[in-house]
Chain A
Amino acid sequence: DQQVKQNSPSLSVQEGRISILNCDYTNSMFDYFLWYKKYPAEGPTFLISISSIKDKNEDGRFTVFLNKSAKHLSLHIVPSQPGDSAVYFCAASGNYGQNFVFGPGTRLSVLP
């Protein structure tokens, strides 16, 4: 049973528009949530995180929103750029710094 779900395997967005990637989780003990970005033939790289005491965290073009009651988080990328084309993984942890659970990923394609 997947504890972290990303129900959209892929997403295509026009350059300059907003990209919204969604993630749902089932374990109410999770208290840290992270987004990782992965290019082909590379390891995932950290993008942005949010703790359960917040509902929003921004870093430049990237914003993560957390809705604890719905057990849902989303990553917004505005404006989207072709270099953002990658696989995005949502991850959650219930023990700060240990034992992250990853979702299956969403492949984002930003079209010029």
Chain B
Amino acid sequence: NAGVTQTPKFRILKIGQSMTLQCTQDMNHNYMYWYRQDPGMGLKLIYYSVGAGITDKGEVPNGYNVSRSTTEDFPLRLELAAPSQTSVYFCAIGQPSNEKLFFGSGTQLSVL
């Protein structure tokens, strides 16, 4: 039971490149979230999903896209990477009956 698995752990991108951050869960939780954490800042919500086929924008969605075709997977897509997207990205899962979130170990992304 791995919980929440994020890949890759580290990545360096050039400006304008694209990439997908992967998030997979084996806890059968309905809710999935993508957060970013900038130095000295709290976690800011990028996108979230309350179930397969349903996604919604969070606080900072610009420059990102998501999809949720299965309960297990919630990939985050960066289409045209910009230096402002340098951050640590966390995927999290939750249930509507439980306020706790379970987080993955994060992806550290640098855009140069």
6 closest A-B pairs by beta carbon, nearest first, are A43-B103, A102-B42, A102-B43, A46-B100, A104-B42, A97-B96
Which residues of A lie under 8 Å from residue B43 when comparing CB positions?
A: 44, 89, 91, 102
Q: Mark B1-18, 1 if CB is under 8 A from A, else 0.
A: 000100000000000000
Contact (Cβ within 8 A) B45 A97: no
Nearest A residue to B94 by beta-carbon distance? A97
| CB of A42 within 8 Å of the partner chain | yes
| CB of A108 within 8 Å of the partner chain | no
Number of B residues with CB within 8 Å of any CB on chain A? 27
8-56 of chain A: CB within 8 A of chain B = 9, 32, 34, 36, 41-46, 49
Bound-state Cα–Cα, A2 to B40, Å: 13
Bound-state Cα–Cα, A32 to B96, Å: 13
